[in-house]
Amino acid sequence: MKENVRVRFAPSPTGYLHVGGARTALYNWLFARHHGGTFILRIEDTDPERSTEESAGAIMEGLSWLGLDWDEGPYRQAERLALYRESAERLLREGKAYCCVCTPEELEERRKVSLAAGLPPKYDGRCRDQRAIEGRPFAIRFRMEGIGKTIIEDLVHGRVEFDDAELEDFVLLRSDGTPTYNFAVVIDDVLMEITHVIRGDDHLSNTPKQIKLYEGLGFPLPRFAHLPMILGPDKSRLSKRHGATSVQAYRDLGYLPEAMINYLVRLGWSHGDQEIFSKEELVRYFTLEKVGKTPAVFDPAKLLWLNGHYIKQAEAKRLTELLFPFWEEAGVGQEELQKKETGWLEGVVRMYQERAKTLRELAESSKVLLEVPIEMDPEATKLLSSEARTRLQTLRPRLEALAEFTAEALETLARGFAAEQGAKLVEIAQPLRVVLTGRTVSPPIFVIMEFLGRERCLRRLKDVLGP
Ligand code: GLU
């Protein structure tokens, strides 16, 4: 019988969607789609001090931007407290858990004593025989037998063994009634019938505790797949120190979601030496067997390269829509943009998309064709020698008189003019580019001139060269 795959992404809403979380979500999503299974979103918001609604919203927005749609949820753990309590009470009744009245201060004190004596700072089991407590706050702790070994047959790391003596009696429910991560995660994974738990390997050491809970509750184990960490270029764990780490930050810098997806998937997974993947290909090829055990190193240069690739490939219509906020950021006024015909804007984008690596860059380079005061690149200004200026002054009336202001006609005119001046075409074209765009590089200048139109070209020549 074919197994009905059910996986989940279970973020704690304590910040934006980070690169590591996004990759975990992506692998779960791909695994679900590859197997025709179900991808579930569960918000792990049982810590009221650190969880915020804003962060839950930002995480969902990040997932939607990446196109990682979920089939069930978002479930919220904060709305499921009664379920956790019910299971904790059952474990209590069955003698698999107990009531602990030790206060945080007492626990901290004993922890210090243990550490000072060179002992592991485990809970000492002082409350182990208490099944019920009246009139005092208490936590519910899980009773560990502490003998033998717990074995994880991890789909990424292979067989991993933990010595049970290392496992302490951990808290299931805090005295305020909220569940701990290890408890809530197991109850939910059971109730949501999760078949594969795919998450970061920073959780590997939690897994033996969770396995003990499955056993205590009498539920079958899911399969586990722990994904290797993502490191910064200096090989320390990826963090803000390494620059942008949230998915939204990349969106705002002008990255496309498909570039992000393509980049994230390769952080720990490969398919031969293929680098560029469509989403359909990823769904077809993705398996956990191809996930490596070693940490992946985050490489912003590769992400940028991929983004350039996808910008080059993207439809100009879509890029144009995405560019509006970036043009505004680059100083192009809303009204100016509204005045332009969409088809014209798309033409501009088509000319510039070849060379841009981000939407921000694309907006910067293409804005010279929009009504903005052109800032002259000092390097470009150097090219405007007095000889070049004189030539352009001579060319001006011919531009005015040109019958049709098309790229082709402009080029023919410039070639004839260059020959007449005993100059090379580039000696005419380059100063023209400098005057019209303020820069030394641009798409073909005669195409640009056609786009700008006769009137704007002449006005610009007058502004720069004088009357
Ligand atoms: N809320 C946990 C986290 O964000 C989820 C871990 C898990 O997937 O079990 O790390």
Reported as a single tens digit per residue, the pLDDT across 281-306 is 999 999 999 999 999 999 999 999 99
Which domains are delineated in the chain? 1-76+228-313 (3.40.50.620), 81-227 (3.40.50.620), 314-372 (1.10.8), 378-465 (1.10.10.350)
- What is the structure's pLDDT at 96? 96
Pocket of ligand 1 from Cβ distances under 6 Å: 10-12, 44, 185, 199, 203
pLDDT digits (tens, 9 = 90+) for 374-395: 888 888 889 899 999 999 999 9
The neighbouring-strand residues paired with 298 are: none
What contacts 246, CB < 8 A, 6 or more positions away? 15, 16, 17, 18, 19, 62
What does each of the 467 residues of the chain score in pLDDT, given as a tens digit? 457 999 999 999 999 999 999 999 999 999 999 999 999 999 999 988 899 999 999 999 999 999 999 999 999 999 999 999 999 999 999 999 999 999 989 999 999 998 999 888 889 899 998 888 888 999 999 999 888 999 999 999 999 999 999 999 999 999 999 999 999 999 999 999 999 999 999 999 999 999 999 999 999 999 999 999 999 989 888 888 888 899 999 999 999 999 999 999 999 999 999 999 999 999 999 999 999 999 999 999 999 999 999 999 999 999 999 999 999 999 999 888 998 999 999 999 999 999 999 999 999 999 989 877 788 888 888 989 999 999 999 999 999 999 999 999 999 999 999 999 999 999 999 999 999 999 999 999 999 999 999 999 999 999 999 88
Task: Tell me whether residue 379 is exposed, middle or buried, using C-beta atoms within 10 angstroms of its C-beta: 0 to 12, 13 to 18, 19 or more.
Answer: exposed
Mutate to test the pocket of ligand 1, among 40, 203, 210, 211 (most ligand atoms within 8 A of CB): 203
Residue with tokens 């992404």: 9
| Distance between first and last Cα of the chain | 84
The per-type count for the chain, helices as H runs and strands as E runs, is: 20, 12
- CA–centroid distance, 203 to ligand 1, in Å, is 8
- The reported pTM is 0.93
Cα 20 from chain centroid?
8
Mutate to test the pocket of ligand 1, among 6, 7, 8, 12 (most ligand atoms within 8 A of CB): 12
Whole-angstrom distance, CA of residue 125 vs CA of residue 138:
14
Whole-angstrom distance, CA of residue 176 vs CA of residue 439:
65
The verdict on whether 240 is a catalytic residue reads yes
- CA–centroid distance, 10 to ligand 1, in Å, is 5
Contact assessment for residue 279 and residue 260, using Cβ atoms and an 8 Å cutoff: no
